Structure 1
């Protein structure tokens, strides 16, 4: 019996390809978006990890200092004086090449003989000793990956021309790296290996190292690691490489959670689509199910038949979703990696990595979401007695009773959403859970709201248009079992679109206002040359003095962006030389007195950005311990200011205080304030004559425009996901209308038989779909406002530590409403066309 039932179920699905396709599409799109986000995010992090592991080989720890690098005498001291083995010095930088200026190669200087114990990826698959001898014995030589060489059209003995702060330099390729594994080959893309002395010579970083790789055996962690740490200067740290990877992952956690939430939102909308389609597939067979029950088929057998169908659909849809997710992940990898590169850490290569865990998660999500969405239709199939299963009126009557029941559940979900949002303290996950609870709650309210709205529309339209005016709203209400879910799915997608649009617009306005306040200078000189260069500080000081002496210049401010260590974690820091004008560029969270700037210059104090204070739970008046060459030093927090340049935050201190504990690395930027009434074009031309290689000059307007472009690129992936969710909702509405077409064939045939023209029938269907879209839009607009409020004041504050103004653009609300109506009308075109072309006789024969 079960075999016959299952075969009957499969045959029914095959006889209704539209419904089958829609069910598969809902599962496929939902799974695809989730796995694509997961793959893109994880691949960006894995790319970083793989590159580092390939270069560092067997290294377990890393000795690192600030951005000024390490003195190479530290390596000599550890190895010669203290007998520490398994050390490998490294000097690395990123350099543009003459063959393709758009590409920056990662140039790594190593001690080839010290590297033998580390078995780094570049040594695999070739004679490492011979390559090492050639790097040391022959001047200006380098190794490059075979894949990179082929991409650049280079061979052995060809020259690679790189550009540094000291000019153009030619590196002769003495060998091509051919690692033994595909992973190592990919990781070494755009990497050049040279001897440390060669890299020091072409960059001018004489006596400098970037870091020192260390191998500490597992059994030596307790003894070797503390002893080695005690030999290091106060501003140098011994960090586990795995700990460094974990720190990188934590940095991207908030970004990852927010993007994953967008993917789950798409899956949620997809679940409504699955529910809608499965409900229709069950309801289409209500007569068959009733007859089967009459001849003795049990509820359990009916349940097994439907579950078998659901599992089959879930398996096919999930498989297709994984395939589509791989394709979407490859497409999304570039924008996701660009955002990670801008906000967190550099990603050298782009390669999609897939793990069994990610595939397993996609399978669980696809099958689990499908089964969850199929529970209500399954209950519907078994709820009625055989007699009632044959009666359509019983279905809608039961649905209306269910609508009243879920109204209470929806109110409870909304209340829970508010409670979770405001009482969950700093949890990002619970903040996002509150958004989902609110969306789910309002989705449950949608059928009741639809019935109420249709009653009002029916009364108004009937008064002006008679029976033709009453029919569309009455048809929406009469088929609430079908239309309610479609409207709810569209409402969720549009509400999410409105909410995200308002959040992004609010953020854009906030950032624009912040930039306009922060960019106080007329022109900014950016000193892009590397801080490790030995004479950089002297050259920067000379340039500042020359600029300050120009007759067109009133004042000059400077900043050095560097990195220090606090609580064993790297922290960005800005050392300022401020003028009265540049002080106005700081927007403080709290009122401050006139003594703040005096304390900033004279005391061991810092001001911190809002994100840093939020993530580290710091307040004004507290202290931060910073690692210096003289050991840990306390710096008092005298103020907290707004900053939207990054979500991990930074510290700011006066240059005077900075130079007490850290080396002079020159300047990162110089702010130039022209005298009153000066022609800025004249000043800009004067400054350009002074600039050398590695220096850039930009106006405040150019910096503003570039910053806003980065902002738009950062949110590009969010907008893509938002439109994917809206697309899934559109498919849901289309599926509901196609289902209604089949269910109403006889009903519409009667209307045609009694005199309704094809044109009137088309108008009837289009009006009905327009009302569905209008209902979804009217509910989505206030829900979108609420979602935006929660995103701005709860989710994004917890994720990134940013306080944003709530900016409501009326155009966004109107666009959301029009989007809902347009999507519904567009989805109704094909059903209306097919219904209008159906001949009355064929329709009346249909059963």
Structure 2
């Protein structure tokens, strides 16, 4: 046979089966679209983030970094004079809160005389010199005649001293556009609970598109934001004639405890490491959705092979070889995968563009909030997902092609031989081996911080469920399990079909098993996680009212005097001050969070090991999070060196606690110990325990009168808990979307299967019509068959989902995020979901079999081909 004839026989058959073909293509397209869209969104966000890193680091070869509190600027002179250093630039980075607005502005305090040698792209460009009236009264300037001001600006020379003025601020184009400010305008920022009014004195023209930041003189930044004598990093350019590794080691030897010297890319990698686990989890969910699409291809191709069984056998008898038949059927699957991949790629770029327009580069977890990425063509990612789409089509077509090639032509030419294709044998040995291998993979550690073996275990559990499906179907028949309504002839026929042709259940239920397992496992994991977070918030939020000047990373804080003013209020019974910082325990690892707070009484920690009741000893206690235990190999009773106040301080680990807020790890110490060892008296958060007769709203008004209306944030614990849980739910929006797609694909499989089954069982339905069954009875028979098949598939899927949920909770989440959670099973939700799936499957089968119900019984029986 010629190649053109083979193309017509195989590829053109897809056109004749337009509905199954369209559903298969759509299923693969949805899996490809979700996976590729996640990659495009994160790639755009990562590119924008890395452009920002490149802008901030410039030509620096190394950066000296500390924790959030920074380090003494006297170190700069010592580092800058080292023989390995060609140029050094001190930097004070501040996240400045805008009073009364839920926004912050990144401000870089720079030495303008040194920055040109390391990072000239951050050089500020002064605007033209403004009149004294404009400097002293920005509001009057804004109300003056615009044309006169523009003419005056053109005639005035640049203000060459603007970069050294204590109130001069230079905005990047993106920041100026977001804030709507021009040179000469003023901007109010917060330092502690004080407001600082700065003048926009120019711009940072080389900052690039999408980078929102501001630059000012470093001495002015230290003074304005109460950071006198503090730096957050030093950018270094090394001598060209020295090996970088040698220079790095020499510089590291000069650093006090708690500081690290890193290349800019490695320092940025610490921040990107927080996003990796989230991105990998979403990618794996998209891959499972694509896998479910592969099961749908399997169903449609298997049914197509059964329907054309005699046709293919006739071609074999005319001389078509097994190899050509194999290749032809695989080509059908590959074409389905290619078409689905192309459609999915187009959908992915559309979804990514919509996501960038709506939420930027953030997919709900908040890692890239504030970035403005741009969509670009990603050839490698696109081709990779096209290849995955083709692979899904080939994988789905492989078993049907193998079955068709192995079938003897003489046997397949017999009328009624189609039933042989549904006599699937139980694969208990394969299922047991797959389950055992999944259990062994769960014991292996992650690779590079990614739970690769955990994801493989998830795929093996899905495979185990599919392999066990025909055995479970036959087992139901062997055990003689009867249903309450199984006494009617139609119910008996449906049950006989189910147990006599278990392959039909496999073909129809493979996608259902995968989608139910995915949806059930995610429901259990999310419910367990949400319940654990809710319990955690209850323990972590014991106060009646919470007060802060800004979040822990921004420029607001409370002074001891302000804390005492709040304490003196008659409605306040007790205070819980909290101070946040970050420390570097190891120069090769990211900084960890340090939390100084009260740990006893109502403010206790959610411990998983150890105790809160530790007597005062020579070595103060510390409580470390699960993430820190996993990453540093710590245990109860171990000693921990914390660099406080530039000096290593020894602590003993008294407990291990559950922390859902900080992935890199956290350490809690008593506030009294922290202040005594560090000398830091500031407070970030303040929990207020009120007297029984106090009104929280009245207390909030009094505190605002003391501290100022726009420089303090107050919230009730119930509102704070609701806000955090809302953020939690938003984080899983994409997860829910992927679950919905997988379930939709499973229902596609049911509809496609029974649409094809009605065509392949025309003679059977015709005989049943002659025996007295009406078209309505045939419809009920299809409903019962689909309902019973879906019931078995849902049961197997729920069991598999329970296993996958355990892997997600105990392996993948633990290895990805280093936290534990209490198992919670949403029984009502799962029961409702299972019932809905069974009813939808029955309805889909009834609609798909409508043609069989309208079929002429005589013509159906006369068919013998």
Measured against the shorter chain, the TM-score band is 0.7 to 0.9
Q: Tell me the equivalent position of 2:87.
A: 86
Cα distance in 2, alignment partners of residues 504 and 827 from structure 1: 29
The answer on whether the counterparts of 2:20 and 2:752 sit within 8 Å (CA) in structure 1 is yes
Q: Tell me the equivalent position of 1:738.
A: 755
The answer on whether the counterparts of 2:750 and 2:844 sit within 8 Å (CA) in structure 1 is yes
Q: Tell me the equivalent position of 1:226.
A: 249
Cα distance in 1, alignment partners of residues 639 and 646 from structure 2: 17
TM-score where L is the length of structure 1:
0.87
Shift, 1:650, TM fit: 0.2
- 1:511 pairs, out of 533, 539, 553, with 533
Would the alpha carbon gap of residues 311 and 338 (structure 1) be closer, same or farther in structure 2, given more than 3 Å must change?
closer
Stretch deviating more after TM superposition (19-28 or 829-838): 829-838
- 2:611 pairs, out of 592, 599, 612, with 592
Q: Tell me the equivalent position of 1:407.
A: 428
Summarize deviations over 1:214-270 as a string: whole Å, max 9, x none.
223665314433343344444433222122233234333433333232122112211
Asked whether 1:639 is paired with 2:655, we answer: yes
Asked whether 1:820 is paired with 2:841, we answer: no
Summarize deviations over 1:487-524 as a string: whole Å, max 9, x none.
12202211221121112112222222222223222222
Cα distance in 1, alignment partners of residues 509 and 329 from structure 2: 25
Asked whether 1:762 is paired with 2:786, we answer: no
Cα distance in 2, alignment partners of residues 570 and 837 from structure 1: 69
The answer on whether the counterparts of 1:332 and 1:717 sit within 8 Å (CA) in structure 2 is no
Cα distance in 1, alignment partners of residues 766 and 124 from structure 2: 75
Q: Tell me the equivalent position of 1:545.
A: 564
Q: Tell me the equivalent position of 2:4.
A: 3
The answer on whether the counterparts of 1:60 and 1:242 sit within 8 Å (CA) in structure 2 is no
Q: Tell me the equivalent position of 2:439.
A: 418
Q: Tell me the equivalent position of 1:789.
A: 806
Would the alpha carbon gap of residues 530 and 558 (structure 1) be closer, same or farther in structure 2, given more than 3 Å must change?
closer
Shift, 1:422, TM fit: 4.3
Cα distance in 1, alignment partners of residues 545 and 14 from structure 2: 68
Q: What secondary structure is seen at the aligned counterpart in 2 of 1:647? A: coil
Cα distance in 1, alignment partners of residues 539 and 383 from structure 2: 49
Asked whether 1:163 is paired with 2:166, we answer: no
TM-score where L is the length of structure 2:
0.86
Stretch deviating more after TM superposition (80-89 or 61-70): 80-89
Q: Tell me the equivalent position of 2:140.
A: none
Shift, 1:810, TM fit: 2.0
Q: Tell me the equivalent position of 2:410.
A: 387
- 2:596 pairs, out of 576, 579, 589, with 576
Q: Tell me the equivalent position of 1:620.
A: 636
Shift, 1:651, TM fit: 0.5
Q: Tell me the equivalent position of 1:185.
A: 209
The answer on whether the counterparts of 1:269 and 1:492 sit within 8 Å (CA) in structure 2 is yes
Q: What secondary structure is seen at the aligned counterpart in 2 of 1:88? A: strand
Q: What secondary structure is seen at the aligned counterpart in 2 of 1:215? A: strand
Cα distance in 1, alignment partners of residues 572 and 173 from structure 2: 52
Shift, 1:736, TM fit: 1.2
Cα distance in 2, alignment partners of residues 626 and 139 from structure 1: 35
Q: Tell me the equivalent position of 1:672.
A: 688
Cα distance in 2, alignment partners of residues 459 and 531 from structure 1: 64
Q: Tell me the equivalent position of 1:300.
A: 323
Cα distance in 2, alignment partners of residues 679 and 137 from structure 1: 49
- 2:264 pairs, out of 241, 252, 257, with 241
Shift, 1:53, TM fit: 1.1
Q: Tell me the equivalent position of 1:608.
A: 624
Q: What secondary structure is seen at the aligned counterpart in 2 of 1:625? A: strand
Summarize deviations over 1:175-206 as a string: whole Å, max 9, x none.
57377xxxx424x2x33344445645654545
Cα distance in 1, alignment partners of residues 705 and 485 from structure 2: 78
Asked whether 1:559 is paired with 2:587, we answer: no
Give runs of aligned pairs for residues 331-350 of structure 1, distance below 5 A. Answer: 338=362, 342=366, 348-350=371-373
Q: What secondary structure is seen at the aligned counterpart in 2 of 1:554? A: strand
Q: Over aligned residue pairs, what C-alpha RMSD do you find?
A: 3.7
The answer on whether the counterparts of 1:64 and 1:237 sit within 8 Å (CA) in structure 2 is yes
- 1:493 pairs, out of 503, 512, 515, with 515
The answer on whether the counterparts of 1:561 and 1:572 sit within 8 Å (CA) in structure 2 is no
Q: Tell me the equivalent position of 1:658.
A: 674
Shift, 1:379, TM fit: 0.8
Cα distance in 1, alignment partners of residues 41 and 611 from structure 2: 44
Q: What secondary structure is seen at the aligned counterpart in 2 of 1:590? A: strand
Summarize deviations over 1:787-810 as a string: whole Å, max 9, x none.
323322333233323222222232
Shift, 1:97, TM fit: 6.0
Stretch deviating more after TM superposition (555-564 or 83-92): 83-92
Give runs of aligned pairs for residues 670-749 of structure 1, distance below 5 A. Answer: 670-675=686-691, 678-692=694-708, 693-749=710-766
Cα distance in 2, alignment partners of residues 266 and 134 from structure 1: 60
- 2:163 pairs, out of 107, 115, 136, with 136
Aligned length: 827
Cα distance in 2, alignment partners of residues 531 and 30 from structure 1: 38
Would the alpha carbon gap of residues 336 and 638 (structure 1) be closer, same or farther in structure 2, given more than 3 Å must change?
farther
